[in-house]
């Protein structure tokens, strides 16, 4: 096997490699020469199969590969750069990195409102609006046998409606609960004391 470069050019390449590796100094041992030559013969063979490219770049590749394997002898070992420490990145709810230098511009109220909007859309906003309109109509248009009883029962229905809305009851369940409450009024005026036989 022969080198692509002349012997003089190959030695010049080795000197160039030594300059580029400073402050590290490779020991001038037979073992190092044999290892680098073997590596070049294995990894830097030209297309013809018998010519080895001993360029400066290839020699540097050989030194790097053999050093990583821990096979080379050094007079002055190269300084190993510590691996760059990856920063700990906290993530927000949607997975994007949080920048601690800037305050969070999205308030908790905005997040809550966005989540509520997503929940309503998942439940079907248009259908829910119709159901809520029916529930409001049921409260407003409730009537009974007398004006006073009508107002008392409407007030009771209104307070029940407000309680269910505050509890976050689904519109369908809210309408059913209001109808059940309204049916209790059909049996007579429950707020008026009854006088009768014992």
Burial of 150 (0-12, 13-18, 19+ CB in 10 A): middle
Q: Is there a single domain that holds both residue 118 and residue 68?
A: no
- The answer as to whether 99 is a domain residue is no
Give pLDDT tens digits for 90-116: 544 555 555 555 555 666 666 777 777
Q: Determine the average pLDDT of the residues in 142-163.
A: 89
Residue 198 binned pLDDT confidence (cut-offs 50, 70, 90):
very low
pLDDT at 179 over 70: yes
Q: Is there a single domain that holds both residue 7 and residue 68?
A: yes
Q: Domain span at residue 50?
A: 2-76
Give pLDDT tens digits for 52-90: 777 888 888 888 888 888 888 888 877 777 766 665 555
20, 54, 76 - which closes a domain: 76
Residue 189 binned pLDDT confidence (cut-offs 50, 70, 90):
very low
Q: Is there a single domain that holds both residue 69 and residue 125?
A: no
Q: Which residue has the tokens 């109220």?
A: 109
Q: Determine the average pLDDT of the residues in 180-185.
A: 88
- What is the chain's length? 198
- The answer as to whether 140 is a domain residue is yes
Q: Is there a single domain that holds both residue 70 and residue 113?
A: no
In 3D, which of 43, 36, 45, 46 has the Cα closest to residue 11? 36
DSSP 134-190: HHHHHHHT---SSHHHHHHHHHHHHHHHHHHHHTT--HHHHHHHHHHHHHHGGG--T
E-assigned strand segments in the chain? 2-3, 25-26, 51-52, 74-76
Q: Determine the average pLDDT of the residues in 133-159.
A: 88
- The answer as to whether 95 is a domain residue is no
- The answer as to whether 103 is a domain residue is no
- The answer as to whether 13 is a domain residue is yes
What is the per-residue pLDDT for 176?
92
- The answer as to whether 159 is a domain residue is yes
State pTM to two decimals. 0.40
- The answer as to whether 88 is a domain residue is no
Give pLDDT tens digits for 9-44: 878 888 888 888 888 888 888 888 888 888 888 887
Q: Is there a single domain that holds both residue 12 and residue 66?
A: yes
Q: Is there a single domain that holds both residue 112 and residue 178?
A: yes
- The answer as to whether 135 is a domain residue is yes
What is the per-residue pLDDT for 156?
92
Tokens linked to 4? 């692509």
76, 100, 118 - which closes a domain: 76
Q: Is there a single domain that holds both residue 72 and residue 117?
A: no
76, 92, 126 - which closes a domain: 76
Q: Is there a single domain that holds both residue 68 and residue 118?
A: no
Structural domains counted in the chain: 2
């Amino acid at each position: 096997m022969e080198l692509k470069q002349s012997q003089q050019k190959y030695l010049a390449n080795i000197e160039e490699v030594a300059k580029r590796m400073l402050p590290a100094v490779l020991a001038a041992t037979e073992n190092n020469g044999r290892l680098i030559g073997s590596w070049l013969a294995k990894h830097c063979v030209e297309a013809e199969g018998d010519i080895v490219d001993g360029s400066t770049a290839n020699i540097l590749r050989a030194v790097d590969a053999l050093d990583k394997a821990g096979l080379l002898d050094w007079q002055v070992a190269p300084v190993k750069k510590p691996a760059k420490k990856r920063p700990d990145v906290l993530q927000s709810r949607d997975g994007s990195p949080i920048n601690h230098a800037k305050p969070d511009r999205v308030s908790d109220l905005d997040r809550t409102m966005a989540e509520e909007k997503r929940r309503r859309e998942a439940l079907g906003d248009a259908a829910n609006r119709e159901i809520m309109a029916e529930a409001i109509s049921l409260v407003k248009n409730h009537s009974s046998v007398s004006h006073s009883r009508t107002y008392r029962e409407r007030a009771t229905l209104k307070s029940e409606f407000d309680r269910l809305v505050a509890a976050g009851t689904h519109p369908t369940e809210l309408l059913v609960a209001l109808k059940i409450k309204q049916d209790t009024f059909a049996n007579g005026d429950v707020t008026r004391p009854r006088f009768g036989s014992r």
